[in-house]
A = this chain, B = another copy of it.
Amino acid sequence: MSLLTVGTVAFDQIETPLGKAEKIVGGAATYISLAASYFNKDINLVSVVGDDFPNTELEYMKSRGIKLEGLQIKEGEKSFFWAGRYHDNMNKRDTLDTQLNVLADFDPVLPDSYKNSEFLMLGNLTPDVQMRVIEQMEHPPKLIAMDTMNFWMDIAMDRLKEVIAKIDVLIINDEEARQLSGDYSLVTAAATIMNMGPKYLIIKKGEHGALLFHDQDIFFAPALPLAEVFDPTGAGDTFAGGFMGYISQSGDISFENMKRGVIFGSAMASFCVEKFGIEKLKGLTNADIKNRVSRFVQLVNFDAQL
């Protein structure tokens, strides 16, 4: 089934203790749609870029089944740009520069062909833009997932909560879950957040894995222990893209299938961090993904003999 995703398509400049990348392709919707494209070949992207965005990258996305009818290309303007530097242990980063450019007055317009998408993934953007996308859908999607960040909680909490009330799966990290709920315990935070509307909550804990909550059920997916993380940029978006790509391809929104989705999302994220930007997300094979998922199975597999 078709997956509609909205988010940034942009340039990043990234410094990690292992190297530096100048002006490479990034953006939430880029990572989400590329990761999802390994599972679903019917992906509708909504975003905006300037005329500085390389056409070869857009052609590559199209070649992976990502439809760009909803991608606005603004003549004479520049694409969104973010520059950041990671600390030694890769767990923290400083933003060095943010240039909104085309994003400053982004008004997402859904082509008619997008309006009946069965699945919707709202990448991290202003709550207003996320709401505008939901409002343009002709039929309520089978499942709406969204990402957000603490920045919107700081400056637009009320509007953010209006969006959260309309979605099914919220995907945020542990710090964001604590800020949104006001609770320290993630179990308590999850209950508080699910009371705001979403029936499902995924809390990402980076190198410590991810938790999926639904009613009284909790599922935990580990992160793959890696000898080296090269660049964590986009890992969260890649996780979300892998998750929604997997779910939307099957059309199955049972808890059992969401568990698999979380594992496949984690597997995609484990690839993402191995190289700069989207580099590793290009040219994976189905066998690569299967083998990676097998490692997750091995990692947590035990027979309790109860």
Instruction: Report the minimum CB–CB distance from A212 to chain B (whole Å).
Output: 10
Are B300's CB and A293's CB within 8 A? no
A297 touching B293 by the CB < 8 A rule?
A: no
State the CA gap A297–B218 with chains docked (Å).
11
Residue in contact with A220 in the complex, picked from B89, B290, B299, CB distance below 8 Å: B299
Q: Give the shortest distance, in Å, between A145 (CB) and chain B (any CB).
A: 19
Q: Are B302 and A263 in contact (CB under 8 A)?
A: yes
Do A227 and B188 touch (CB < 8 A)? yes
Give A229 to B299 CA distance when docked, in angstroms. 26
Does A197 reach chain B (CB closer than 8 Å)? no
Cα distance A211–B219 when bound, in Å?
18
Which size bracket describes the interface of A in this complex? 35 or more
Complex partner residue of A290 from B217, B219, B306, CB under 8 angstroms: B306
Q: A305 to B252, alpha carbons, bound, how many Å?
A: 14
Tell me the complex Cα distance, A144–B120, Å.
Answer: 54
Q: Would you call A225 and B187 a contact (CB within 8 A)?
A: yes
Choose among A185, A186, A220 the residue with the greatest number of B CB atoms under 10 Å from its CB: A220
Within 8 A of B (CB), among A242-282: 256, 259-260, 263
A209: Cβ under 8 A from any B Cβ: yes
A101 at the interface (CB under 8 A from B): no
Within 8 A of B (CB), among A184-208: 184-188, 205, 208
Q: Contact at A219–B302, with CB atoms within 8 Å? A: yes
Is A82 interfacial (CB-CB < 8 Å)? no
Identity of the chain B residue whose Cβ is nearest the Cβ of A250 in the assembled complex:
B305
A266 → chain B, closest Cβ, in Å?
11
Contact between A220 and B211, CB atoms less than 8 A apart: no
Asked if residues B218 and A303 are in contact (CB atoms below 8 Å), the reply is no
Residue of B nearest to A191 (CB): B227
- 1/0 per residue A73-112: CB within 8 Å of B? 0000000000000001100000000000000000000000
Determine the chain B residues whose CB is within 8 A of the CB of A188 once the complex forms: 227-228
Q: Is A304 a contact of B299 with CB atoms below 8 Å?
A: no
Contact in complex: A227, B303 (CB < 8 Å): no
Docked complex Cα distance between A225 and B217 (Å): 11
Which residues of chain B are near A205, meaning CB under 8 Å? 208
**Known pairs A186-B225, A297-B304 / 10 extra A-B pairs, C-beta < 8 Å:** A88-B184, A187-B226, A188-B227, A208-B208, A219-B299, A219-B302, A220-B299, A256-B302, A260-B302, A294-B306
In the complex, 5 of the A-B residue pairs with CB atoms within 8 angstroms, ordered by the A residue number, are A187-B227, A222-B300, A290-B306, A293-B304, A294-B304
Interface residues of A (CB under 8 A from B): 88-89, 184-188, 205, 208-209, 211, 217-222, 225-229, 256, 259-260, 263, 290, 293-294, 296-300, 302-306
